[in-house]
C-alpha cells in the first residue's frame, strides 16, 4: 500500500506526525496549511514569490542543518519530517515577535486593523506575553498620506514588504518602494510622488498590520461589527469576486474574495471603494409621478405609479400600435431582470423594440465562427498567450483587473502590443506601441487583417474574408491614408507577428466599435484571429472587453432588437437604441437602469415622446425627464446572476436590507406584468434563472444553488455544439 501511494506523483512528508501528500514544489507552509496546521506568516503571500524577510514562519526540519528553517521559502521533499511546535521553534517565533514589537506603538484600540490584525493574532497565539525592551520607542509623524486614498503609519509597519512587492511583482508600477536600509528602512515613495495606482487598495488589504489604511474606511467600523456577504463587484465587466462588509445597512468596504479564474485575488480601487451610490442619502425611496403634462414629479404610492404606467402604455398601444413602445434595458441589472424586461416588452406589451447601450457588432453572431460576439478565451488563459495585442482598449482604466492578468502574462513571457490613440499605462511595458490617429482603430484593424491575408501559410485561410477585404482595395487605401506610412508599416509588421505567433490574444474595447469608421472593428479583428489560427488554442483568442458588470448578460438575455434570449433571431427586428431615442414613431419609452440622456447631444429624451418610465436608484438626467420614476434596488440589496466578460455566470447576493420604499427591478416588472394581464408565477430570481436555463444554450443546466461562491463559466457548451 505504501508503494502504491508513492506512485501518485506527489511528495510525501510528515508535519507534526501528520502524513501529507502535496505536488512537487509546494512550500512547507502550504503543505502545513493543507494539513490544517497554522504556521504564522507576514512577508509571504500565496500570490507572490517567497521572500523570507519576516522570520516568522520558523519550523524545524529533521536532518536539515542549523534549525529553525523558514517554512515559506523551503519546498517540500520526499520523506521530509517537519515539526512546527518544538521548543526551538516556539522560542524562535517568540523572539521574532519580541523584535517586531520593539518599536510597535501598540495603539490597537484606535487602529483600524485591530480585530483582524496578524500581528495582534500571532502575538496572542505565538508571542511572548511581555517585552524586555524598556527604552523609548521610535516615533514618526503619523499617519502620512501616500496618496489621497491610502495612509501610511510607519510606527506600525513591520517591514514585511508585502505592499512594495505587490507594486513590483503584481501591479509592476513600483508605486510603493522600500526607502533606505537597515534600521532606517521604511515604506515610501519618491519625494513628492503620490502612490497613484488604480490597484493601491490591494496593499491596504494585504498589509498584515495597520500600517497601510484606507482613507475611505478609516475609523468607520470595527471588524467584529461587520456582516460579510460574498458577492460580485458591479463596477465593470470583469466581475471580480468581493466580500461586501456591511454595518447597520451601510456598505463600509468591499474586500477581495479570491477567484483564481477571474480576479486572481485582487480588486481594483473602483471595485473596492466606489460604492457611494448604494449608501447615497439621495437614493429614491418612493415612486414619483408627473400628474399633469409639463407638471412636476411628485411622490406617489406604488399602486398609483404602476396603475398609471399600465394605463398610459395601454392607451398608447391602442392609439399608435405596440411598436410605438420602446424598452431600454440595463448593463448593470441581473440576468433575471434583463430577461424579464425583454419578456415584459415583447410578450406583455407586444413590441419588438428592445435594446440597450452597447458596442456595435454586426449581426447576432460572428459569421466565421457562428459564435455570439464575446471573448473566445478565459481570463485565466491570458497567461498562456505569447502575444497580447490591445487594440483601442485600455484595461487599466476600463477593466483594471485584466491589466494585472496581462502583466502576469508578461512575466510568463508574453509580448504586449498596444495599438491605441492615446497613451496607456501598459505602454511602458509593451514590446511595441503603435499610436493611432483619432478614430483610427477601424483603419488599424483593416490594415492588420489585410496584411495578415497576404501572409503565406495562413493557418486557416478563408476565401470569404479574402474576397471581402482584398476585393475592396480602396478601403485599404483610405485606411493607409488615415494612419500614415509609418503606422501602416508598423501595423503590417505586427500582422506578420500575429500570423506567426504561437498564441496571440487580440483584445478591443466594446465601445471603440462605436467610433466613426470603426463599424468593422469587431468583425475585422475576429477575422484576423480566425485566419491566423489564433482561436481555440490555449492562450490564443479574440474578443471585446465589455463595459459593465452585466453587459454580456444583457446581450445573452436578448436586450437586443434583433435577438431573443439565446441569440435566436427576433422577427420582426425592433428599433435600435439610437432609433428609439430619436424616432418620432416611438411615443413611449420604458427605461430600466439606464441613463440614455447621456448619449443625446442635447440630453433631451422627450422629443416626440408622450410617456417615459424610468426605473432607477438615483434621480439621473433621464429620470428627471420621466413621467413615472420607480425606485429600484442596487446590486447589494438583491439576489441574482450576472455574466462577466469571459462568460462566468456568477451570483450576487443581498448584503443589505432593501432600502425602504424601493423594490428590486424584477419585482417591479412582475407587478407590472400582472397589471398588464400577464401574471407570472416566479417565486424569485432563482425561478427566472431556471426558465433562462431551459431555453438558453449558454445557460443550460444552471441553477441558483449551482452558481455557488465562484460562479460557473459557460460558453464552451455552445462552442462544442457549433
Distance CA 364, CA 359 (A): 12
Distance CA 629, CA 605 (A): 14
* DSSP letter string, 24-93: TT-BHHHHHHHTT-----SS--TTS-----S---EEEETT-SSS-EETTTPBP-TT-EEESSSHHHHHHH
484-503: b (≥16 Cβ within 10 Å) or e: eeebbebbbebbebbbebeb
Positions 149 through 168 that interact with other proteins (CB under 8 A) = 164, 168
Give me the sign of the Cα torsion angle 534, 536, 537, 542.
Answer: positive
* Backbone φ/ψ region at 159: left (φ over 0), alpha (ψ -120 to 50), beta: left
Classify burial at 63, counting beta carbons within 10 Å of its beta carbon; exposed 0-12, middle 13-18, buried 19 or more: exposed
Among the listed residues 6, 24, 78, 174, the single contact to other proteins using CB under 8 A? 174
Radius of gyration from C-alpha coordinates of the chain: 29
Distance CA 335, CA 472 (A): 41
Among the listed residues 106, 177, 618, 619, the single contact to other proteins using CB under 8 A? 177
Distance CA 615, CA 306 (A): 11
Among the listed residues 26, 74, 120, 189, the single contact to other proteins using CB under 8 A? 189
Q: Is 90 in the site for other proteins (CB under 8 A)?
A: no
Cβ distance to other proteins smaller for residue 17 or 191: 191
Distance CA 547, CA 510 (A): 7
Distance CA 562, CA 221 (A): 49
Q: Looking at 23-31, 37-45, 56-64, 189-197, which segment touches other proteins (CB under 8 A)? A: 189-197
Longest pairwise C-alpha distance within the chain:
91
CB 183 within 8 A of CB 218: no
Q: Looking at 178-186, 318-326, 631-639, 707-715, which segment touches other proteins (CB under 8 A)? A: 178-186
Distance CA 402, CA 380 (A): 10
Distance CA 367, CA 523 (A): 8
Q: Tell me how far, at minimum, the Cβ of 426 lies from other proteins, in Å.
A: 13
Q: Looking at 187-195, 475-483, 591-599, 697-705, which segment touches other proteins (CB under 8 A)? A: 187-195
Positions 422 through 441 that interact with other proteins (CB under 8 A) = 428
Q: Is 7 in the site for other proteins (CB under 8 A)?
A: no
CB 623 within 8 A of CB 358: no
Cβ distance to other proteins smaller for residue 188 or 327: 188
Among the listed residues 66, 132, 136, 181, the single contact to other proteins using CB under 8 A? 181
Q: Tell me how far, at minimum, the Cβ of 171 lies from other proteins, in Å.
A: 11
Retrieve residue 622's grid coordinates. 433621464
Q: Tell me how far, at minimum, the Cβ of 328 lies from other proteins, in Å.
A: 44
Distance CA 689, CA 666 (A): 12
Cβ distance to other proteins smaller for residue 96 or 189: 189
Q: Tell me how far, at minimum, the Cβ of 395 lies from other proteins, in Å.
A: 19
Beta-carbon count within 10 A of 628 CB: 23
Positions 193 through 212 that interact with other proteins (CB under 8 A) = 193
Give me the sign of the Cα torsion angle 497, 502, 508, 513.
Answer: positive
Retrieve residue 372's grid coordinates. 455570439
Q: Is 190 in the site for other proteins (CB under 8 A)?
A: yes
Q: Tell me how far, at minimum, the Cβ of 204 lies from other proteins, in Å.
A: 17
Cβ distance to other proteins smaller for residue 152 or 676: 152
Beta-carbon count within 10 A of 244 CB: 27
* DSSP letter string, 339-366: HHHHHIIIIIS----EE-S----SSSEE
Beta-carbon count within 10 A of 71 CB: 31
Cβ distance to other proteins smaller for residue 182 or 677: 182
Cβ distance to other proteins smaller for residue 176 or 522: 176
Q: Tell me how far, at minimum, the Cβ of 329 lies from other proteins, in Å.
A: 43
Element (H, E) at 317: helix 302-320
Cβ distance to other proteins smaller for residue 180 or 292: 180
Q: Tell me how far, at minimum, the Cβ of 180 lies from other proteins, in Å.
A: 5
> Cα–Cα–Cα angle for 246, 247, 250, nearest 5°?
70
Q: Looking at 181-189, 225-233, 453-461, 551-559, which segment touches other proteins (CB under 8 A)? A: 181-189
Q: Looking at 35-43, 102-110, 190-198, 448-456, which segment touches other proteins (CB under 8 A)? A: 190-198
Cβ distance to other proteins smaller for residue 186 or 691: 186
Q: Tell me how far, at minimum, the Cβ of 434 lies from other proteins, in Å.
A: 18
Q: Tell me how far, at minimum, the Cβ of 433 lies from other proteins, in Å.
A: 12
Q: Tell me how far, at minimum, the Cβ of 175 lies from other proteins, in Å.
A: 6
Q: Is 183 in the site for other proteins (CB under 8 A)?
A: no
CB 678 within 8 A of CB 658: no
Q: Looking at 179-187, 262-270, 401-409, 441-449, which segment touches other proteins (CB under 8 A)? A: 179-187
Q: Tell me how far, at minimum, the Cβ of 173 lies from other proteins, in Å.
A: 6
Q: Tell me how far, at minimum, the Cβ of 184 lies from other proteins, in Å.
A: 9
Positions 16 through 35 that interact with other proteins (CB under 8 A) = none
Cβ distance to other proteins smaller for residue 212 or 632: 212
Q: Is 173 in the site for other proteins (CB under 8 A)?
A: yes
Cβ partners under 8 Å of residue 324, min gap 6 = 316, 317, 351, 585, 586, 587, 588
Among the listed residues 25, 49, 129, 191, the single contact to other proteins using CB under 8 A? 191
Cβ distance to other proteins smaller for residue 179 or 380: 179
Q: Is 519 in the site for other proteins (CB under 8 A)?
A: no
Cβ distance to other proteins smaller for residue 37 or 170: 170
Size of site (CB under 8 A) for other proteins:
18
Q: Looking at 67-75, 177-185, 369-377, 619-627, which segment touches other proteins (CB under 8 A)? A: 177-185
Q: Looking at 82-90, 135-143, 176-184, 693-701, which segment touches other proteins (CB under 8 A)? A: 176-184
Among the listed residues 21, 48, 178, 380, the single contact to other proteins using CB under 8 A? 178
Show the binding pattern over residues 372-411: x = contacts other proteins (CB under 8 A), - = does not. Answer: ----------------------------------------
Q: Is 1 in the site for other proteins (CB under 8 A)?
A: no
The residue ranges that bind other proteins (CB under 8 A) are 164, 168, 173-181, 188-193, 428
Amino acid at each position: 500500500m505504501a508503494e502504491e501511494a508513492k506512485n501518485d506523483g506527489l511528495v510525501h512528508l510528515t508535519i507534526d506526525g501528520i502524513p501529507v501528500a502535496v505536488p512537487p514544489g509546494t512550500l512547507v507552509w502550504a503543505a502545513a496549511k493543507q494539513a490544517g496546521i497554522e504556521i504564522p506568516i507576514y512577508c509571504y503571500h500565496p500570490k507572490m514569490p517567497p521572500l523570507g524577510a519576516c522570520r516568522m514562519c520558523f519550523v524545524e526540519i529533521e536532518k536539515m542543518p542549523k534549525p529553525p528553517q523558514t517554512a515559506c521559502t523551503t519546498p517540500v521533499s520526499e520523506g521530509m519530517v517537519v515539526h512546527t511546535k518544538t521548543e526551538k521553534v516556539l522560542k524562535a517565533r517568540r523572539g521574532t515577535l519580541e523584535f517586531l514589537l520593539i518599536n510597535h506603538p501598540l495603539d490597537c484600540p484606535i487602529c483600524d486593523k485591530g480585530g483582524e490584525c496578524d500581528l495582534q493574532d500571532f502575538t496572542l497565539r505565538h508571542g511572548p506575553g511581555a517585552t524586555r525592551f524598556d527604552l523609548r520607542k521610535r516615533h514618526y509623524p503619523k499617519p502620512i498620506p501616500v496618496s489621497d486614498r491610502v495612509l501610511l503609519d510607519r510606527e506600525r509597519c513591520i517591514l514585511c514588504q508585502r505592499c512594495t512587492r505587490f507594486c513590483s511583482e503584481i501591479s509592476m508600477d513600483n508605486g510603493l518602494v522600500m526607502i533606505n536600509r537597515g534600521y532606517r528602512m521604511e515604506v515610501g515613495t519618491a519625494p513628492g510622488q503620490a502612490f497613484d495606482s488604480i490597484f493601491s487598495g490591494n496593499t491596504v488589504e494585504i498589509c498584515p498590520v495597520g500600517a497601510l489604511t484606507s482613507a475611505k474606511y478609516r475609523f468607520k467600523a470595527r471588524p467584529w461589527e461587520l456582516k460579510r456577504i460574498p458577492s460580485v463587484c458591479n463596477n465593470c465587466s470583469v466581475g471580480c469576486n468581493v466580500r461586501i462588509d456591511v454595518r447597520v445597512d451601510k456598505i463600509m468596504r468591499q474586500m477581495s474574495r479570491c477567484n483564481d479564474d477571474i480576479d486572481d485575488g485582487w480588486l481594483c480601487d473602483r471595485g473596492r471603494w466606489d460604492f457611494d451610490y448604494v449608501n447615497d442619502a439621495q437614493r429614491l425611496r418612493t415612486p414619483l409621478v408627473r400628474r399633469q403634462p409639463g407638471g412636476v414629479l411628485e411622490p406617489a404610492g406604488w399602486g398609483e405609479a404602476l396603475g398609471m404606467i399600465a394605463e398610459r402604455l395601454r392607451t398608447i398601444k391602442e392609439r399608435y400600435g405596440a411598436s410605438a413602445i420602446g424598452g431600454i434595458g440595463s448593463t448593470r441589472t441581473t440576468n433575471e431582470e434583463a430577461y424579464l424586461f425583454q419578456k415584459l416588452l415583447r410578450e406583455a406589451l407586444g413590441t419588438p423594440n428592445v435594446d440597450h447601450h452597447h458596442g456595435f457588432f454586426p449581426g447576432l453572431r460572428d459569421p466565421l465562427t457562428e459564435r455570439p460576439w464575446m471573448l473566445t478565451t478565459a481570463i485565466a488563459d491570458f497567461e498562456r498567450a505569447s502575444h497580447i495585442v490591445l487594440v483601442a482598449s485600455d484595461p487599466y482604466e476600463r477593466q483594471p483587473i485584466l491589466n494585472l492578468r496581462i502583466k502576469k502574462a508578461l512575466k510568463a513571457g508574453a509580448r504586449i502590443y498596444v495599438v491605441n490613440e492615446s497613451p496607456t499605462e501598459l505602454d511602458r511595458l509593451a514590446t511595441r506601441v503603435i499610436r493611432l490617429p483619432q478614430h483610427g482603430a477601424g483603419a488599424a484593424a483593416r490594415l492588420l487583417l489585410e496584411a495578415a491575408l497576404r501572409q503565406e501559410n495562413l493557418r486557416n485561410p478563408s476565401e470569404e474574408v479574402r474576397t471581402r477585404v482584398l476585393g475592396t482595395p480602396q478601403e485599404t487605401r483610405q485606411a493607409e491614408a488615415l494612419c500614415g506610412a509609418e503606422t501602416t508599416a508598423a501595423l503590417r509588421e505586427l500582422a506578420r507577428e500575429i500570423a506567426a505567433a504561437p498564441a496571440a490574444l487580440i483584445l478591443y474595447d466594446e465601445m471603440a466599435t462605436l467610433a466613426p469608421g470603426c463599424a468593422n472593428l469587431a468583425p475585422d479583428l475576429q477575422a484576423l484571429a480566425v485566419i491566423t489560427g489564433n482561436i481555440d488554442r490555449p492562450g490564443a483568442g479574440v474578443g471585446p472587453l465589455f463595459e459593465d458588470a452585466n453587459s454580456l448578460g444583457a446581450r445573452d438575455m436578448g436586450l437586443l432588437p434583433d435577438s431573443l434570449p439565446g441569440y435566436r433571431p427576433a422577427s420582426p427586428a425592433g428599433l435600435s437604441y439610437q432609433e428609439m431615442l430619436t424616432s418620432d414613431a416611438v411615443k413611449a419609452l420604458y427605461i430600466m437602469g439606464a441613463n440614455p440622456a447621456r448619449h443625446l447631444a442635447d440630453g433631451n429624451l422627450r422629443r416626440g415622446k408622450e410617456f417615459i418610465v424610468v426605473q432607477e436608484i438615483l434621480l439621473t438626467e433621464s429620470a428627471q425627464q420621466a413621467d413615472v420614476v420607480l425606485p429600484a434596488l442596487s446590486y447589494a440589496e438583491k439576489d441574482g446572476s450576472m455574466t462577466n466578460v469571459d462568460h462566468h455566470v456568477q451570483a450576487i447576493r443581498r448584503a443589505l436590507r432593501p432600502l425602504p420604499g424601493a423594490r428590486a427591478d424584477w419585482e417591479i416588472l412582475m407587478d407590472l406584468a400582472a397589471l398588464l394581464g400577464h401574471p407570472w408565477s416566479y417565486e424569485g430570481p432563482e425561478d427566472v434563472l431556471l426558465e433562462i436555463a431551459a431555453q438558453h444554450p449558454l445557460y443550460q443546466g444552471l441553477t441558483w444553488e449551482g452558481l455557488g461562491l465562484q460562479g460557473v463559466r459557460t460558453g464552451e457548451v455552445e462552442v462544442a455544439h457549433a
